[in-house]
Amino acid sequence: MTKKSFAYLFLLPLAIFLYAVLQHYRVATLLDRAEYEQNILVKAEKIVNNNFTGSLEIEYQREGADKAERMYASSAQTEASLFLSQNKKALSVAKPMLYLSYGGLGLSLLFLLTNSALIALGYLGAKKGRRSQHDLVQAFDFCRTWLPFILAGQVLFLTLSVSCLIFYELTGWMSTAKDSGDILAGGYFFLLGIGYIVFIIWRLVKMLSKSFSLFQPEPKPVMGRNLTHDDAPALWARVERLALKLETITPDNIVAGLTENFYVTANPVRLNTGEILTGQTLYFSLPWAALLDEAEIDAVLGHELGHFSGKDTEYSLRFAPLYARFSSSIEAVFGLRKNAPGYMNVDFNTAMSSCNYVLGQFHDTVMYWRQRREHGADEMGAKVSTPLALSSSLLRIAALSNPVDEYLNEVYNARVMPDDVVAALLAHLQMSPLPDPQRYLENETAHPYDTHPSCKARIEALGCTTDEAAAIAARPVTGDAFAHLFLLVNDFKQLCRTLSAELTGEITQYRDNYKQSLETVLHRAAKETVIYARPKIAIGGALVFIFFLYVTVGGLFDPALKSSLDGEDYTYVCLLLGLAVISGLGLRRVIKVWKRGKQPVMVLRHGSISVHMLSAPVPLAALTGYVFFKTRRGLRIGFTYKEGYEPPPRTDNRWLTYTHCSSTEPFFYVTAYGKLRDASGAPVSQEQLAELLDTYLSASVAEHEIKDFQ
């Protein structure tokens, strides 16, 4: 657990609890004292009003005294009445304040217990998941069921406990308000409380809905064609035969495509035609099938179907897609309110710390089972073919991945537009020698939802030698290498042409849209944009100037000045000069702030950005990003820049030249004091400034990329 997570999950509720203890002590002390004074008052009244014949003195302990003293009952009565009258208003709201302090104590403890439950949930769930994949799925199911409610409980107990602390202080402040403002202030107080409760309910509903969406699998976009039994009867028969031999689930769908490697998924799949496939889907890669022989295809298909066998079925169908969705969506779900003030981000950071802790606990367990399940699937692939066929397919795919990806990138960038991508790919690969498969023994095969062990580890686990597998994998690519595919798919050639036409059509449309967006960026960045920061008048400087000017002028007409000069005593004159200097400093501050509003805080041009705090423009190509920081006086913009670039010296203060430069990372700050406006005087929001910066920063990249379209 990180220090930040520890602070939000434990130190924060502890701080709220301790402050609630302090509040309880304050109000309990007042109530105890009031009860004591009331008892004294009753006792004293009995003695004074009933002509008590005994001693007229009683014991009375003054507030703050170490011990009681004896005094006349009438005096004690006066002291008690005085205390109760002085604290009448405070005592009228003491009971509600006492209940608020109890609420702060109880809710902070519930907040702490909720966080402790989350820690236990993540730790014990991950520990249980080590026993078996079935236990891992059960533990994750339990976590995904209760995590949204725990997150909601965190927000509820955190906000309500803090609201108890705030309402306690507001109630105490209300008790000191004047009588004429009590009704109005009480109305505002009531409305504030109702609004805050409604706000909490809205936040909880929103968080619950978003938290549950973490575990809802989204359809995976796939470019391909859904092959029915009529489209590919031989392929379906082959897959069904392998599934029967392995005693695994037969996929509900087979999708043939050009852009990815073989894989199976239980996630919904959205094809480029708009069709959504549910159930288990096998992605059949036409380019890779053309580069493998029949034994290797059987081994690869057996490996993929092996993920639907035995205990691995539950992992593949339920856990892997949801875990991938959960791990990639945490920050997006919570809105990324990183630029909001810190006090507005407390519940956000607490929820983020919770999710990251649970994810971190499961991560090691997931990686452990990923290694185990891949070796198990390899055994299934070797079972329906041979260990050597699976080993050679692993190395052949690893060795040809870069050349295949390079050619497909040429297609994606419209440098080549073949009618048949598969045939063109094979022709392209025949023109150069196959890379040595031995160089790729440490490679890991990519997968949409999983990672794989290295080729070497998988080959050794199959009992094969890397030399033998590499020798088979190194066979050259031939033009008729995919002849066996004509038997698997009806009209295979037409299928390849159809998919190639769809791919090139999508690429053409995408590139046209992308080119248009680049031209739009360049057009916007061609104009110079000037941003001003209009600060408010320097109130402090103005007050200093007016006050000390008044004192100085008054001193000039003071008779003491003449007598001081007559007596050749210049102390008074020096004092007046000092006051005049201070007044001048106040005037200087006012003028400086006024001049600052007249000069641009930032000038954005195509290729560079100029800021008033730096002595020279900064090339946009040297910047890598920016981030906003809210400050009391305006907006601070932090720019990150490439390693090796040195920002220009600052000009705003010769004594603090590098005040805003970070010594640990390539980062410098620019501060805009006051509200941002453009050259026409129109206000510029933080979102609009971000859009402008994005436009100009991306213009240099757009200028380079648009050359590819020429």
Residue ranges covered by each domain of the chain: 3-214, 220-309+386-513, 529-534+597-709, 539-596
Other CB atoms within a 10 A radius of the CB of residue 38 amount to 14
pTM strictly above 0.85: no
pLDDT of residue 658: 36
**Measured distance CA(393)–CA(288) in Å, rounded:** 10
Contacts of 25 (CB under 8 A, 6+ apart): none
Which whole-number Å values give the CA distances from 461 to 276, 376, 388, 552, in the listed order?
38, 10, 11, 93
Angle between helices 466-473 and 387-412 (to 10 degrees): 50
pLDDT range class, residue 690, cuts 50, 70, 90 = confident
The tens digit of pLDDT for each residue in 599-643 reads: 788 888 888 888 877 788 888 888 888 888 776 667 778 888 888
For residue 437, the 8-state DSSP code is G
- What type of residue sits at position 625? G
Averaged pLDDT, 47-52: 67
276 and 269 Cβ atoms separated by less than 8 Å:
yes
- What type of residue sits at position 695? T
Averaged pLDDT, 133-150: 71
Alpha helices, DSSP H, located in 317-386: 320-333, 346-384
Other CB atoms within a 10 A radius of the CB of residue 113 amount to 13
Give the side-chain half-sphere CA count within 13 A for 371: 10
Q: 1 in helix, strand or coil?
A: coil
The tens digit of pLDDT for each residue in 194-223 reads: 676 676 667 666 655 555 555 555 678 899
579 and 548 Cβ atoms separated by less than 8 Å:
yes
The tens digit of pLDDT for each residue in 413-458 reads: 888 889 999 999 999 999 888 888 888 887 655 444 445 667 888 8
Q: Inform me whether the pLDDT recorded for 50 exceeds 60.
A: yes
Q: How far is CA 165 from the centre of its chain?
A: 28
298 and 399 Cβ atoms separated by less than 8 Å:
no
pLDDT of residue 238: 94
**How does strand 281-285 pair with strand 253-257?**
parallel
Contacts of 159 (CB under 8 A, 6+ apart): 200, 203, 347
Q: 636 in helix, strand or coil?
A: strand
pLDDT of residue 413: 84
**Measured distance CA(145)–CA(427) in Å, rounded:** 53
697 and 621 Cβ atoms separated by less than 8 Å:
no
pLDDT of residue 677: 83
pLDDT of residue 1: 64
Which whole-number Å values give the CA distances from 683 to 536, 593, 676, 689, in the listed order?
14, 19, 6, 10
**Measured distance CA(486)–CA(262) in Å, rounded:** 18
**Measured distance CA(709)–CA(413) in Å, rounded:** 9
Q: Find which of 157-166, 498-507, 511-520 is predicted with most confidence, using mean pLDDT.
A: 498-507
443 and 405 Cβ atoms separated by less than 8 Å:
no
The tens digit of pLDDT for each residue in 2-11 reads: 677 777 778 8
Bridge partners (DSSP) of residue 625 are 640
Write out the two tokens for 241: 């035969």
Contacts of 248 (CB under 8 A, 6+ apart): 305, 306, 308, 309, 313, 380
Contacts of 658 (CB under 8 A, 6+ apart): 650
**Measured distance CA(391)–CA(410) in Å, rounded:** 29
Q: 3-state DSSP: the chain helix, strand, coil percent, rounded to 5?
A: 65, 10, 25
Longest Cα separation, the chain: 127
Which whole-number Å values give the CA distances from 132 to 246, 312, 361, 374, 710, in the listed order?
21, 10, 16, 15, 57
Averaged pLDDT, 83-109: 86
Three-state secondary structure readout of 638-702: EEEECCCCCCCCECCCCCCCCCCECCCCCEEEEEEECEEEECCCCECCHHHHHHHHHHHHHHHHH
Other CB atoms within a 10 A radius of the CB of residue 553 amount to 13
**Measured distance CA(380)–CA(172) in Å, rounded:** 73
DSSP H or E stretch at residue 193: helix 179-213
Task: Look over the chain and give the mean of its residue pLDDT values, rounded to a whole number.
Answer: 78
Which whole-number Å values give the CA distances from 89 to 34, 675, 699, in the listed order?
12, 43, 65
Q: 276 in helix, strand or coil?
A: strand
Q: Inform me whether the pLDDT recorded for 470 exceeds 60.
A: yes
Averaged pLDDT, 137-146: 71
Among 204-208, 324-328, 352-356, 409-413, the range scoring the smallest mean pLDDT is 324-328
Which whole-number Å values give the CA distances from 577 to 548, 588, 593, in the listed order?
11, 16, 24
**Measured distance CA(582)–CA(523) in Å, rounded:** 51
State what percent of residues in the chain have pLDDT above 70. 74
**Measured distance CA(664)–CA(586) in Å, rounded:** 37
Three-state secondary structure readout of 20-72: HHHHHHHHHHHHHHHHHHHHHHHHHHHHHHCCCCCCCEEEECCCCCCCCEEEE
Better-predicted residue by pLDDT, 235 or 8: 235
Taking the chain, what is the end-to-end CA distance rounded to the nearest angstrom?
53
Question: What's the order of all strands across the beta sheet hosting 263-265?
Answer: 224-227, 253-257, 281-285, 263-265
Q: How far is CA 478 from the centre of its chain?
A: 50
